[in-house]
Chain A
Amino acid sequence: KNEVEQSPQNLTAQEGEFITINCSYSVGISALHWLQQHPGGGIVSLFMLSSGKKKHGRLIATINIQEKHSSLHITASHPRDSAVYICAARRGSQGNLIFGKGTKLSVKP
């Protein structure tokens, strides 16, 4: 079993829909990252959080440390949100990142 699991693996949505991507982890962590990878390949960090909730534009990330679970929400989804979303957990205070396999999101107009 992978230490970081994402669901779903693939997600197709209609423009305007509310989207949720989930990430569960089985190790103790100090922080969790959400990354976005566009079809061209580049990877961009969206959020880094260790507790609670963060919001940036239409994107919201939450984390529940006790339940070892994080979610990434996209409100009013748009075709330009189509990408692979990756969660990554930092094990311990100085550990390296452990990556999930990613969720491929496709938003149809």
Chain B
Amino acid sequence: DAEITQSPRHKITETGRQVTLACHQTWNHNNMFWYRQDLGHGLRLIHYSYGVHDTNKGEVSDGYSVSRSNTEDLPLTLESAASSQTSVYFCASSRGTDSGNTIYFGEGSWLTVV
């Protein structure tokens, strides 16, 4: 079965370190997204990609970067982790930009920055 997986599922890191969260999907979807989820907020879009070599900033992109070198993967990098980036991170994918496409989420990555 096709799926979308995230790793690591849980990570504790120190302020200032670079951290990369991996996202891998086997749906062959063009669209991939990274969200963060915090108490008191809905899911907020960090970065997204509509295809290989395409990346775009979302509403909370400061301090994060992504790259899309193939269809399956969209790794999220925190260049210099800050305590404000302690959050749960979700990767998601969908087939295309058509409004009729279902979106699929990974299981989430819990990141704590100390």
**Contact of A96 with B100 in the complex, beta carbons under 8 Å:** no
A101 located at the interface, meaning its Cβ lies under 8 Å from any Cβ of chain B in the complex: yes
Give residues of chain A (1-50) contacting chain B, Cβ–Cβ below 8 Å.
2, 4, 30-31, 33, 35, 40-45, 48, 50
- The answer, among A4, A44, A50, A94, for a CB contact under 8 Å with B97, is A94
- A105 at the A/B interface (Cβ < 8 Å)? no
- Which B residues are CB-close (under 8 A) to A90? 99
Residues of chain B contacted by A33 (CB below 8 angstroms): 103
- A30 in contact with B99 given A41-B88, A44-B105, A45-B104 (CB within 8 Å): yes
Minimal beta-carbon separation of A38 from chain B (angstroms): 10
Q: Tell me the bound Cα distance from A94 to B105 in angstroms.
A: 19
Q: Interface 1/0s, chain B 82-105, versus A by CB < 8 A?
A: 000000101010000111111111
Query: Does A99 interact with chain B (Cβ within 8 Å)?
Result: yes
In the bound complex, how far is the Cα of B104 from the Cα of A48, in angstroms?
12
The DSSP consensus for interface residues of chain B is loop
Selected contact of A50 from candidates B88, B99, B102, CB within 8 Å:
B99
**Does B45 interact with chain A (Cβ within 8 Å)?**
yes
| CB-based contact B48/A86 at 8 Å | no
Q: Verify A45–B103 contact, CB threshold 8 A.
A: yes
Given contacts A43-B90, A96-B33, A96-B48, contact A31 B43 (CB under 8 A): no
Determine whether A97 belongs to the interface, using a CB cutoff of 8 Å to chain B. Answer: yes
Q: Which residues of B approach A to under 8 Å, CB–CB?
A: 33, 40-45, 48, 58, 88, 90, 92, 97-105, 107-108, 110
Binding site for B on A (CB under 8 A): 2, 4, 30-31, 33, 35, 40-45, 48, 50, 86, 88, 90, 93-94, 96-102
